[in-house]
Homo-oligomer: A and B are copies of this chain.
Amino acid sequence: VISDNALVRARFHLPETDASGHGLLTGDEAGHLTRVLRLGVGAEIDVFDGRGGMFHARVVDVGRPGVRVAVLSAMSPAPEPAIRVTLVMSILKGDKMDAVVRDATMMGVSAVQPIVASRSEISLAAVTRAQRVERWRRIAVASVKQCGRAVVPVVETAVDLRTWMAHRSDDAVLALTEPAGGEGAPLAQVPRCERVHLLVGPEGGWTADETAVFATAGFRAIALGGRTLRADAAPLVAMAAVFEAWGGW
């Protein structure tokens, strides 16, 4: 539930500051401040560095290179979850993937790894050509502003499922399955992990080959009830279940 906007100062992403506590907002961030919000020198804003720091700041100069701000004092951002979730998400059609990145960021995801699975209805070439990953990175920043986090989740370069399988870390993997398959176990039966990869399939689901490979790789197949979840809602539901099951909120 979004808090009253009147009580929240505008937030800006300021990745770098110098030793004197000054930094430069550029690009979209500078444009949002000057053209959309019509703020100028002297305006008080909040800035976050994307790595967990959030600060009160003041605009000290508006010029050609960007908006120069001075950091005033540290703030307490929204806490990060106790469980580090990396969402390994099959790329969905149209703007559904935008919503997935936005919602996962709001929930506190640590990283998003977009993948192309057998039944994904988009190719890696199309993802690259349309600069979708860059778009998802901007959406992650926008969502961070809304939910009050100071950590911007990493949105990794999109790869195919096979490539991700070959290069993944050794974190535990939970593979979300469809109720019709019947092979998924309740999350309550899975031991708690501090770090987990959550693997979610495309609209058409996983193929039998894919689920067989997951089983061989030691992934835990999990089911979230007997209703069929929409692919774009599944990550949100699964993250809520993980946080509730393992005290990760």
List the interface of chain A (C-beta within 8 A of B).
Answer: 1-5, 78-79, 81, 103, 106-108, 119, 146-149, 176-180, 186-188, 200-206, 223-231, 233-234, 236-238, 240-241, 243-245, 247, 249
- Distance, CA A236 to CA B236, complexed state (A): 8
User: A226 near B188 (CB under 8 angstroms)?
Assistant: no
User: B178 near A227 (CB under 8 angstroms)?
Assistant: no
User: A226 near B78 (CB under 8 angstroms)?
Assistant: yes
User: B2 near A228 (CB under 8 angstroms)?
Assistant: yes
A186 / chain B contacts, CB cutoff of 8 Å: 247, 249
- Distance, CA A249 to CA B200, complexed state (A): 18
User: A1 near B148 (CB under 8 angstroms)?
Assistant: no
User: B203 near A147 (CB under 8 angstroms)?
Assistant: no
With both beta carbons as reference points, the residue of chain B lying nearest to A233 in the complex is identified as B103
Among A106, A188, A227, A243, residue most surrounded by chain B Cβ atoms (within 10 Å)? A227
A1 / chain B contacts, CB cutoff of 8 Å: 176-178, 200-203, 205-206, 228-231, 234
